[in-house]
Each structure stands twice: as structure tokens, then as C-alpha cells.
Amino acid sequence: MARATRIALDLALAASKAVRPSLGIAWQYAKIEVAPPLTLGFFQGAGGKRLENAVASKVDGFISGLQQRIKDIDDEQIRVKKEKEAAIKAAQEKAKAAAKAKAEEREKAEAKQREQAAKAKAEATAKEEAKKADTKKPDPPKAEKKKPAKKDPPKKKDPPKSAKK
């Protein structure tokens, strides 16, 4: 729609710019040749100048209005294009952020798996070492039953020294 409007406005603008000089020449001819004899003073004087200026300003306003509409259409197309680019860029940034978050999550999961695997390996190694240590250790000697200690026979008492002499 905007494209068809733009084409129509371009045609109207081109036609207006092309017709303006022709109308100016036609006005000059009409003012001299077609005007009734008693109105020549009006068309040649201040009233005619005001009329010419009013018509010229209306025509200039019409042409500038067409140019402004064309400029507005172009600006709108540029704005829409920038919005689309911004939306695409935002979607790319969002996808990039999601991919980054997913990669970080995957990295964390892998680190957790490595940590769990390391723990499991350490536990398995510890159990294995414990088994090896158990198999290497001789069975603790069974507590031998201690025989009650023999009582020393009573010693003979030495007679007192005075008795020996």
C-alpha cells in the first residue's frame, strides 16, 4: 500500500513541478489578452499581485506537502526496517544468551559428573586398599590362654646370724 501511495505521490509531484511554469506563462498571457479592458488595472496592480502571491503560495504549499508526504513514507520505511533489524538482533542476542546459559549449565553438569566420578573412584580405591590391607595383615594372634604363673616355692629362712656362730 505504501509503495503504491509513494508511486502516486511521486507522479503527482512530478506533474505539479512540470505544470507550474506552464501555468505561470498561461497566467501572464491571460492577464494581458483575456482580461476585460476595464479590469486591466486590477490584474496589473496590487490586487493582481496579491492574487498571484496567494496562488503561488498555495501551489508551493501543495508541492511541499507532497514532498513531505513522500519523506514521511520514506522515514516510515526506514523506521520499520530498523525495527526489524533490532528485533532480529534482539532475537540473536536472546538465542546467544540462551546458548551461553545452556553451555554453562552443561559445563556445571559435566563438572558435577566428574566430581561424582572422582568421589566414586576415590571410594572404590579406598575400599580396595582396605581389602588389600585386610588381606595383607596376618590374622591377629589369638590370645593364648595364659597359664597361671607357678608360685615360687617358699625359701628357706636363713637362721639368724648370731645362731651360726
User: What is the per-residue pLDDT across 41-88, written as a single tens digit (0 to 9) for each?
Assistant: 888 889 889 999 999 999 999 999 999 999 999 999 999 999 999 999
Domain that holds residue 11: 2-101
How many domains, in total, are found in the chain? 1
Establish if 164 belongs to a structural domain.
Answer: no
Which residue, 15, 40, 17, 20, is CA-closest to 30?
Answer: 40
Write down the mean pLDDT value for the chain. 85
Establish if 153 belongs to a structural domain.
Answer: no
Establish if 43 belongs to a structural domain.
Answer: yes
- What's the pLDDT score for residue 129? 82
Q: Would the pLDDT of 110 be above 90? A: yes
Are the C-beta atoms of residues 9 and 73 closer than 8 Å to each other? yes
Global model pTM greater than 0.85: no
Are the C-beta atoms of residues 63 and 17 closer than 8 Å to each other? yes
Q: Would the pLDDT of 89 be above 90? A: yes
